[in-house]
């Protein structure tokens, strides 16, 4: 199975918002580079962040912990983190975590 553990992402920014679109599994084997890049970008920015999960079919506890960390960073800065377009499978897992307030209503 080629590409099982591959994940890619794109980042778009405007004056007030950083939108991160993720494709592929958000899990232990694929998340290290993403986590490093997001921490680096977020450390210098004062923007709301939208994470688009439409292309994510699987998230594990590592992926959830990165989202929780990002949420805490945003709260400390007085900025928002919003999760958009989660698949039903990912939504179910996120609802079990402490991220439910970030989910679309």
- DSSP states of 21-54: EEES-BSTTT-HHHHHHHHHHHHH---EEEEEEE
In a domain, 91, yes or no: yes
CATH number at residue 21: 3.30.750.24
Distance CA 14, CA 104 (A): 21
In a domain, 33, yes or no: yes
Which residues span the domain enclosing 80?
17-102
In a domain, 10, yes or no: no
Average pLDDT rounded to a whole number, residues 51-63: 92
In a domain, 82, yes or no: yes
Q: Give every strand in the sheet of 8-13, ordered side by side.
A: 8-13, 17-23, 48-55, 81-84
In a domain, 6, yes or no: no
Quote the crossing angle between the two packed helices 61-77 and 32-44, to the nearest 10°. 0
Average pLDDT rounded to a whole number, residues 16-42: 87
Q: What percent of the chain has pLDDT over 70?
A: 92
In a domain, 9, yes or no: no
In a domain, 2, yes or no: no
Whole-prediction pTM? 0.85
Distance CA 91, CA 103 (A): 8
Q: How many domains does one find in the chain? A: 1
In a domain, 75, yes or no: yes
């Amino acid at each position: 199975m080629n590409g099982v553990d591959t994940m890619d992402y794109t980042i778009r920014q405007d004056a007030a918002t950083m939108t991160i679109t993720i494709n592929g599994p958000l899990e232990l084997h694929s998340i290290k580079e993403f986590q490093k890049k997001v921490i680096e970008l977020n450390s210098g920015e004062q923007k709301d962040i939208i994470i688009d999960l439409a292309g994510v079919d699987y998230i594990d506890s590592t992926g959830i912990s990165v989202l929780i960390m990002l949420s805490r960073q945003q709260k400390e800065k007085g900025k928002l983190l919003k999760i958009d377009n989660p698949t039903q499978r990912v939504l179910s897992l996120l609802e079990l975590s402490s991220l439910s307030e970030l989910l679309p209503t």
